[in-house]
């Protein structure tokens, strides 16, 4: 029996995926998904999936029940304006499909034909997660199950005859209290760390940061769908590099010169101290407009060749075009590392390039 619905569900998913994939570029380059976590649901408006029928537009009213004065608002309409020209408005014939970010990452993977990533032979680290599965009569007050406690008290008062119908006050006593209880479940994890580095020098404007932000988000999302645990670290740099938190990474506005090697050095130090390659899969992403100080590039190349590349799964460089045009760094890297598998580069001029950049970065499945 279960197979029957499985087929219909699969067909439905196929239709949805088709519709989402068609517009993937749009969804990807939209900012509002950012900040969602793996199991968060996102509503994706998918046009033309639900079957249309002749049916009424917005109900102009109805009947309700409950207290309230005349004129009191009881709910919000969906704001649809029927009109002779409304046929051209796509908003009113759309199925909102809810996908988790994880599912979205899968779609992204399928569409870009991203290979699944085989974690390098790192040891599996197990950690324990608490699952709240039961209820028991003892426990800390912070875990008190209010409803069950009330229930139990009501039951006791009814049975013992202390329940007053005219004055239905329920007073729980010690024995009535119920608490949530948990079980610890082992969860295997293989670890990955992503280090995002961004150039925040004067030439990187808001538009460039938005490009970086969206690209970084989808990279995180994809890698998170491949590893159970992903740690993400952020570095910003102009002439100096700093480790920052997520918010700062996406919001700072700095000015100053550009010394890319400072970021590489910091990342290198972080790997040394916190993410030993024996335990971690390391992904490095660097975004810049490529306008490095002339004498710095050779330092960068040296660092990459000797330190970073041997120790990371992949190093990706994304160059965004700023108001001042595109810099030299991309070409320099390309010349130096033409045959290096672990290093990939991409140019991101505008939002439509994001998808291609991601494919370029993650298409190797390292």
Q: Which residues in this chain contact other proteins in the complex, by CB under 8 A?
A: 1-2, 4-5, 7-15, 48, 50-77, 79, 82-84, 86-87, 89-90, 92-93, 98, 151, 154-155, 158-159
CA dihedral 287, 288, 294, 298 (to 10 degrees): 10
Contacts of 73 (CB under 8 A, 6+ apart): none
Longest pairwise C-alpha distance within the chain? 89
Residue 61 Cβ vs other proteins, minimum distance, rounded to whole Å? 4
Phi, psi of 103 (to 5 degrees): -65, -40
Q: Distance between CA atoms of 249 and 242, rounded to whole angstroms?
A: 10
Closest CB to other proteins among residues 1, 278: 1
Residue 22 Cβ vs other proteins, minimum distance, rounded to whole Å? 17
Angle, to 10 degrees, between the axis of helix 353-362 and the axis of helix 206-226?
Answer: 40
Closest CB to other proteins among residues 51, 138: 51
Closest CB to other proteins among residues 75, 140: 75
Residue 59 Cβ vs other proteins, minimum distance, rounded to whole Å? 7
Residue 18 Cβ vs other proteins, minimum distance, rounded to whole Å? 11
Closest CB to other proteins among residues 79, 140: 79
Q: Distance between CA atoms of 309 and 267, rounded to whole angstroms?
A: 12
Closest CB to other proteins among residues 103, 296: 103
Closest CB to other proteins among residues 76, 116: 76
* Torsion 325-327-331-334 (CA) sign: negative
Q: How many residues does the chain have?
A: 366
Which residue reads 């409950």 in tokens?
66
């Amino acid at each position: 029996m279960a197979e029957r619905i499985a087929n219909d569900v699969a067909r439905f998913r196929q239709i949805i995926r088709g519709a989402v994939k068609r517009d993937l570029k749009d969804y990807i380059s939209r900012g509002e998904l950012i900040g969602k976590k793996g199991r968060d649901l996102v509503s994706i408006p998918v046009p033309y999936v639900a079957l249309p029928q002749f049916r009424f537009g917005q109900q102009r009213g109805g009947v309700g029940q409950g207290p309230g004065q005349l004129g009191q608002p009881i709910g919000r309409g969906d704001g649809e304006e029927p009109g002779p020209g409304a046929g051209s408005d796509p908003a009113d014939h759309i199925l909102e499909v809810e996908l988790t970010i994880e599912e979205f990452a899968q779609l992204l993977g399928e569409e870009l034909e991203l290979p699944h990533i085989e974690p390098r032979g790192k040891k599996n680290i197990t950690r324990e997660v608490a699952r709240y599965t039961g209820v028991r009569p003892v426990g800390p007050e912070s875990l008190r199950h209010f409803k069950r406690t009330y229930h139990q008290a009501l039951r006791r008062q009814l049975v013992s005859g202390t329940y007053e119908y005219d004055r239905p006050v329920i007073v729980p006593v010690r024995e009535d209290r119920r608490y949530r209880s948990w079980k610890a479940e082992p969860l295997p994890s293989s670890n990955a760390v992503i280090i995002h580095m961004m150039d925040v020098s004067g030439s990187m404007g808001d538009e460039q940061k938005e490009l970086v932000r969206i690209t970084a988000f989808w990279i995180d999302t994809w890698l998170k769908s491949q590893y159970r645990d992903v740690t993400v670290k952020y570095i910003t740099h102009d002439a100096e590099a700093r480790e920052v938190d997520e918010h700062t990474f996406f919001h700072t506005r700095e000015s100053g010169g550009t010394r890319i090697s400072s970021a590489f050095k910091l990342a290198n130090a972080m790997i040394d101290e916190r993410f030993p390659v024996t335990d971690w899969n390391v992904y490095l992403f660097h975004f810049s407009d490529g306008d490095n100080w002339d004498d710095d590039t050779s330092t960068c190349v040296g660092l990459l060749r000797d330190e970073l590349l041997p120790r990371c799964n992949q190093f990706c460089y994304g160059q965004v075009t700023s108001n001042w045009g595109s810099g030299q760094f991309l070409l320099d890297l390309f010349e130096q590392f033409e045959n290096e598998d672990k290093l990939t580069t991409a140019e991101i001029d505008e939002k439509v390039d994001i998808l291609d950049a991601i494919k370029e970065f993650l298409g190797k499945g390292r």
